[in-house]
Amino acid sequence: MNVTVIGGGLMGSGIGQVAAQAGLNVTIIDVSEASLEKAQNRITDSVDRLAQKNKITNREDVLSKLTFSSQWDSVSQADVIIEAVPERLELKKDTFKKLDQLAKDDCLLATNTSSLSITKIASVTTRPEKVIGMHFFSPVPMMPLLELVKGYKTSVETYEFAREVGEKLGKRMITAEKDYPGFLMNRIWLPMVNEACFAVMEGVGTPEEIDQGFIDGYGHTMGPLKTIDMAGIDTALWAMEALYEGFNDPKYRPCPLLKKMVEAGDLGRKTGRGFYTYR
């Protein structure tokens, strides 16, 4: 099975790695050569760590399954395409218009969006029944969950094909039967994180205290603020905006501190600074 991943950032590189570990042929496409290089290094480091822990024994095979490219040649050969470009609707629409022109008729077109409408993204293609949400969780090689999201026109065949792919990737799946903003997971999780940002903004507590509270009080392995530092403050803000716009409900208004941090370029771990500072 040939898999093409569009966007080789945090999520795209993780998805590509997991697909390669499952023995699939993977091409990761990105507009940025720097991102491609980073993706390759990130995957090699991660595969090396797994090999050192004896969690995989075929390091060379896994790495040989991966191709990194700034060209779209692999798209026409792909059986499955998973899009993981930044969380901007217009960018996703442009990407799917292009995929619609180049991909095989029977290709599965999946988006890893965390909150945008699958139906809107699918609507720019001539085959909305082939489009589905495959929402992975970060870090993809570690997190077992895959949330499948049915768009308004997603067919039963497409859903079953996506399940088959998820099984090959070794994921445990849940399904959002309907395409409402945030689907199942982020609709519940993001407002909680947003509220944690309000608590910091209002000086009720520090990120350290809030995160510690979630670890010691609720048994989470990582607190909400460290988690969005990892996910990207920009990604979290865009996802929160999608909830706000999608439901037209003020309870989803993004915290101004999140906006300020994005304006200042403090995007979390990827820029070295978010709620915490990283070396």
Give the Cβ contact number of residue 164 at 10 Å: 13
- Among 87, 179, 211, 241, interactor with ligand NAD by CB under 6 A: 87
CA dihedral of 240, 196, 83, 25, whole degrees rounded to 10: -170
Is residue 7 involved in binding ligand NAD (CB under 6 A)?
A: yes
Task: Please tell me which residue in 25, 35, 112, 114 is annotated as part of the active site.
Answer: 114
Q: Which residue, 268, 138, 254, is CA-closest to 196?
A: 254
Cα(97)–Cα(30) distance, integer angstroms: 16
Which of residues 38 and 59 has its CB atom nearest to ligand NAD in the complex? 38
**Annotation marks residue 32 as catalytic:** no
264: contact with ligand NAD by CB under 6 A: no
The catalytic residue among 13, 35, 83, 135 is 135
17 closest CA partner among 52, 53, 41: 41
Among 23, 31, 64, 222, binds ligand NAD (CB under 6 A): 31
Report 203-242 residues binding ligand NAD (CB under 6 A): 231-232, 235, 239
| Locus of tokens 């042929």 | 25
Least separation in angstroms between residue 177's CB and ligand NAD is 19
Q: Residue 91 or residue 201: which is nearer to ligand NAD going by CB? A: 91
Q: Does 147 bind ligand NAD (CB under 6 A)?
A: no
Phi, psi of 4 (to 5 degrees): -115, 130
Residue 147 annotated as catalytic:
yes
# binding residues, ligand NAD (CB under 6 A): 28
Structure tokens at 175: 């399904």
- Residue 192's identity, in one-letter code, is M
Contact region for ligand NAD (CB under 6 A) — 29-37, 56-64, 151-159, 205-213? 29-37
**Strand arrangement, sheet containing 2-6:** 66-69, 25-29, 2-6, 80-83, 108-111, 131-136, 145-149, 172-176
Residue 220 catalytic?
Answer: no
Binding site for ligand NAD (CB under 6 A): 6-12, 29-32, 35, 84-87, 91, 95, 112-114, 135-136, 138, 231-232, 235, 239
Residues carrying an active site annotation: 114, 135, 147, 186
